[in-house]
Amino acid sequence: MTATTDGSTGAANLRAAPASDPTESTSAAHDMMAVARHAAERSVEHLLGRQDEQGWWKGDLATNVTMDAEDLLLRQFLGIQDPETVKAAARFIRGEQLGDGTWNTFYEGPPDLSATVEAYVALRLAGDRPDDPHMIRAAGWVREQGGIAESRVFTRIWLALFGWWKWDDLPELPPELMFFPKWVPLNIYDFGCWARQTIVPLTIVSAKRPVRPAPFALDELHTDPSCPNPPKPTAPAASWDGVFQRLDKALHLYHKVAPRRLRRIAMNEAARWIIERQENDGCWGGIQPPAVYSVIALHLLGYDLDHPVMRAGLESLDRFAVWREDGARMIEACQSPVWDTCLATIALADAGVGPDHPALVRAADWMLGEEIVRPGDWAVRKPELAPGGWAFEFHNVNYPDIDDTAEVALALRRVRHPDPARVDAAIERGVRWNLGMQSRNGAWGAFDADNTSPFPNRLPFCDFGEVIDPPSADVTGHVVEMLAVEGRSHDPRTRRGVEWLLAEQEASGAWFGRWGVNYIYGTGSVVPALIAAGLPAAHPAVRRAVDWLKSVQNDDGGWGEDLRSYREEKWIGHGSSTPSQTGWALLALLAAGERETRSVERGVAWLAATQQADGSWDEPHFTGTGFPWDFSINYHLYRQVFPLTALGRYVYGDPFATASAIGAGTGKGA
């Protein structure tokens, strides 16, 4: 690699690699170090070339075709279709169809009924004929699975908007929910922030029950067109399912007798709540689904499409579109610039890029500008906590998240910024906010503290993914690592986090991964945190984790874990090798002192061998999650940043390994 004199390109000011062990006599280790260094240098060049001039990085965030189908359904509902958009969306949806006529929700995953129903309807809107061969295959498979009646609630809500499903046959969600105080079960703050932002507008939709004329019938998607809505069996009254089914029946009766004035006040309160949370860019929380439902809800309340709120909301939706060279148009469910930028900064710094390199300083400047300094929904439960921290997206001041805040702090500590006092102050605010968001059990969730109510997930309405935000091992690991780097290993709150992590370790030695797939991600997040917090590499918990990672290493030297591991035990730790998951496993092993082991060398060799000519890696498999199993994510930058971080630490060591390991022997079980 050649470094330019101004440092604008290339990995200028690379740190020197540590000297090899003098007792090491084989040339193989030296060769492997050279291979790893070369792969890291090529990856650095690639990643530096992808930075935006403003300082941020962002990879595509791929999910599944329901995003694209619902975008077309929204345009149909509002009457704002345009031929170019419809054609491009249909091209993308067709391109994702499997050979049997179905659609899945992650690469090489099984067919998904709801995704197939929504994709089919979207293609019908785009002009595909029901007697086209690819449509015949899709409709036949849907009928084999039980038809529309077996699809998820959200799919049937979209169909109800056009009269393809009866509103009476959907779970009820009344807007009077807005009146529940925060101490009453099932108040809106009992839901995770992503669910809350979706449920509030849907209470308006549920109350209004709109039906726009359908442009065609969907009889071919019912098992029996003469009786398309078969009744569901009722659970025993003594069971929780039975209780909530009967509650739903009561709510349906209430819908018929709800006082009009009370309902109008409730819907207006929901509208006020929605509008107050619209971001400066017109979106809601930087997430596409809440924006879609918010636009529909406000439109039903009389907001015309030229109203400033509506116009900004619709314009924001266009920013979720990724136009491809073949003319296809993919919709991102969310965008991840803060997350991608902090991870890219860590990767580059750990791979030898100098801390004052202009690219890292630009990244730090941009991240500092994204700090959130006003209260959001989290303050409902934590009113005395001062704001601080970072969100995931470009615009999202209402929902900073604990995971991003921890990783941004770790990234900023790797940069030699010209205004260190500004950096210190921002990190201190983030640390204080993260500590204040600790849950009672000592761990951390993603957006809220103690968001663990058992009731929201039991609602018949909530049949798709997690709607609460309990603490997780991966987020807790990142926070503990950040606190250790900030010199807080001995802080009682850090020790409680460590204790929780030790108690959460699986019998296998792994940790569950909430926001990444799956046990490899959880273990790759926790082991470096425990080491940073002072646990010795010889600690039994660390050794069990190391043994587990070695036991699930693939024959090719890499690591992989299929999304089916969330449902099927046989998939735990198993799947095709991927760059990001191999990076996670290596980060854990390197933190545990396994640098010179055969497992690490094989993992490094796999990364080097699978690297592409431009220094990047390809990764079609989905290794991120929105909801485990139910909503899967392929972060296109994961395949670049995690292999590079692992290669960098293999070559140069962990930059904080010595400075942060200051809490050894403290804390219960340590």
- Sheet containing 624-627: which strands, arranged edge to edge? 61-62, 631-635, 624-627
Separation between Cα atoms, residue 130 and residue 149, nearest integer Å: 19
Helix/strand/coil for 390? strand
Q: Minimal CA–CA distance to 638: which of 620, 654, 651?
A: 620
Instruction: Supply the DSSP string of 289-353, one letter for each residue.
Output: HHHHHHHHHHHHTT--TTSHHHHHHHHHHHTTEEE-TTS-EEE-SB--HHHHHHHHHHHHHHTT-
Which residue among 68, 340, 401, 403 is the active-site one? 403
DSSP 8-class letter at 388: -
**Amino acid letter, 214:** A
Whether residue 430 contacts residue 402, with contact meaning beta carbons closer than 8 Å, is answered with: no
List the Cα angle 524/484/482 in 5-degree steps: 60
Calpha distance 77→213 (Å, rounded) = 9
Distances (CA, A) of 595 to 577, 587, 598: 20, 10, 9
b vs e for 129-139, b when ≥16 Cβ sit within 10 Å of the residue's Cβ?
ebeeeebebbb
Distance from C-alpha of 302 to C-alpha of 285, rounded to nearest angstrom:
23
CB burial readout 580-599, b (16+ within 10 A) else e? bbbbbbbbbbbbbebbeeeb
The tokens for 196 are: 């809350």
Return all residues near 384 (Cβ < 8 A) that are at least 6 apart: none
Which DSSP string corresponds to 124-135? HHTT--TTSHHH
Number of Cβ within 10 Å of residue 563's Cβ equals 25
State the Cα–Cα distance between residues 337 and 636, nearest whole angstrom: 12
Nearest CA to 349 among 339, 363, 329? Answer: 363
DSSP designation for 631 = E
Terminal Cα distance for the chain, rounded: 43
Please give the Cα distance from 163 to 212 (Å, whole number).
7
d(C-alpha 643, C-alpha 91), whole Å: 33
CA 580 to CA 587: how far, in whole Å? 11
Q: Active-site residue 131, yes or no? A: no
DSSP letters of 457-503? GGSTT--SS--SB---HHHHHHHHHHHHHTT-TTSHHHHHHHHHHHH
Burial (CB count within 10 angstroms: exposed 0-12, middle 13-18, buried 19+), residue 33: middle
CB 511 within 8 A of CB 526: yes
CA-nearest of 307, 237, 631 to 464 is 631
What is the C-alpha separation between 39 and 52, in angstroms, rounded?
A: 23
CA–CA separation, 502 and 506 (whole Å): 9
CB 589 within 8 A of CB 557: no
For the annotated catalytic residues, the residue numbers are: 403
